[in-house]
Amino acid sequence: MGGDGVRRRLAVANAAGLVAGYALDALVGDPRRWHPVAGFGRAAGALEQRTYRPDPAAGAVFTGLAVGGPVLLGAAATVLTRRRPVTRAVLVAAGTWTVLGGRTLRREATVMRRALRRGDLPAARNRLGHLCGRDPSLLDESELARATVESVAENTSDAVVAPLFWGAVAGLPGLLGYRAANTLDAMVGHRSARYARFGTPAARLDDLLNLAPARLTGLLTIAVAPTAHGDRERAWRVWRRDRNDHPSPNAGQCEAAMAGALGVRLGGRNRYFGRTETRPFLGDGPRPEARHLKRAARISGAVGLAALGVAAVYPVTLGRVVAAAGRWGWTAAAHTARSAARPVPSVRRLPARLGARVGRAGAGATPDAGGGRADTGGSR
């Protein structure tokens, strides 16, 4: 089979792997034990102990090693399966299942909703740690619901849309590299005394990798708002108005769209363990309640399906165009490099050729003293 045929089959294999991995996450969810991401977290923790110093340079070394390892593993698997599309599809499916967390996210929102509906605040407070790092000890129903809606909105990007995006764009290396970077951000990318400097490179890398997925999540949230009885026009208006008010370059994209879709107001004072942050308000309307959590989970699921559609189509459409352009660019660059490296003949070695050219130009052309160039006199 020719090169184009192989590439077409691999593109289909990548798309099929993304779909199969998404289906596994939707049906099975995260494994209860021996989760690969948890194993990576333990390995990253051990690496942190060896590389930690309270400065960004040490954090950059830590981030490069911890993210580079999974990327290289994915790249090696990609090379080894370049002639085996079925194996490629299986590996992409396994990788997608490993890095997605959509089912778990929606399940946590459901558990929180049921606890709040029962009025069981202690159970709801104990459960909040599965979604975010806020101190739940003083939170009431409204604040617990707000924290859940904001976490569902942001993690729809982090745990669903962004992995699918990078899996579509960069295959296995993209899947594994993104999940590694996002895990490091959760581990060391916060503003504690220990990680304020060391965690900066991991936090900045995560911000960079989520720039496009977060904005895609916001747009998809607006598009699917009616699936949860939301107002698409209001979601669009709130997203455009409030998305850049959030201190995070990415979280505001998702939270503003979710606030508009649900018709609630997010933001306010967030209490973490040892510090407090006051966030700008996003959206109009009442504060979230338990009844809004079911709608938020439904929007999250619809956004995931829409993102899957985009991700599955990309490798067999625009992805092939981008890959072809990349191959053309590399070929052109290599040809240019070879031409530049080729020795240029000296002008003095071509007297006969230049003399013949001058002779054809007409009488009166006289070779110069060196014999290598001709002075054509007034003919110029």
Distance (Å, whole) CA 320 – CA 330: 15
pLDDT recorded at residue 316: 77
**pLDDT at 179 exceeding the cut of 80:** yes
pLDDT recorded at residue 335: 65
pLDDT recorded at residue 361: 45
Backbone angles phi, psi at 136, to 5 degrees: -90, 0
338: three-class secondary structure by DSSP:
helix
Q: What is the mean pLDDT of the chain?
A: 87
Backbone angles phi, psi at 349, to 5 degrees: -90, 5
pLDDT recorded at residue 364: 44
Residue 320 pLDDT grade (very low, low, confident, very high; cuts 50, 70, 90): low
75-84, 210-219, 344-353: segment of lowest average pLDDT: 344-353
Q: What is the dihedral of CA 244, 298, 156, 10, to 10 degrees?
A: -130
Adjacent-strand bridge partners of 272: 134, 275
**pLDDT at 117 exceeding the cut of 70:** yes
18 or 373: which carries more pLDDT confidence?
18
pLDDT recorded at residue 2: 52
Q: What is the pLDDT of residues 157-168, one digit of tens each?
A: 999 999 999 999
pLDDT recorded at residue 330: 57
Parallel, antiparallel or unpaired: strands 275-282 and 266-272? antiparallel
Residue 79 pLDDT grade (very low, low, confident, very high; cuts 50, 70, 90): very high
Distance (Å, whole) CA 321 – CA 310: 15
Adjacent-strand bridge partners of 232: none
317 or 310: which carries more pLDDT confidence?
310
Q: Average pLDDT of 307-317?
A: 90
**pLDDT at 326 exceeding the cut of 70:** no
Instruction: Give the global pTM.
Output: 0.83
Quick one: what percent of the chain has pLDDT higher than 70? 83
What is the SS3 string spanning 24-74? HHHHCCCCCCCCHHHHHHHHHHHHHHHHCCCCHHHHHHHHHHHHHHHHHHH
Residue 13 pLDDT grade (very low, low, confident, very high; cuts 50, 70, 90): very high
Q: What is the pLDDT of residues 255-305, one digit of tens each?
A: 999 999 999 999 999 988 878 889 999 999 999 999 999 999 999 999 999
24-28, 145-149, 241-245, 312-316: segment of lowest average pLDDT: 312-316
- The upper half-sphere exposure of residue 174, i.e. CA atoms within 13 Å in the direction of its Cβ, equals 19
373 or 126: which carries more pLDDT confidence?
126
189: exposed, middle or buried (Cβ count in 10 Å: 0-12, 13-18, 19+): buried
Q: Average pLDDT of 7-12?
A: 88
pLDDT recorded at residue 373: 38
211 or 353: which carries more pLDDT confidence?
211
**pLDDT at 374 exceeding the cut of 90:** no
pLDDT recorded at residue 325: 59
**pLDDT at 124 exceeding the cut of 70:** yes
pLDDT recorded at residue 342: 64
Distance (Å, whole) CA 343 – CA 345: 6
pLDDT recorded at residue 352: 46
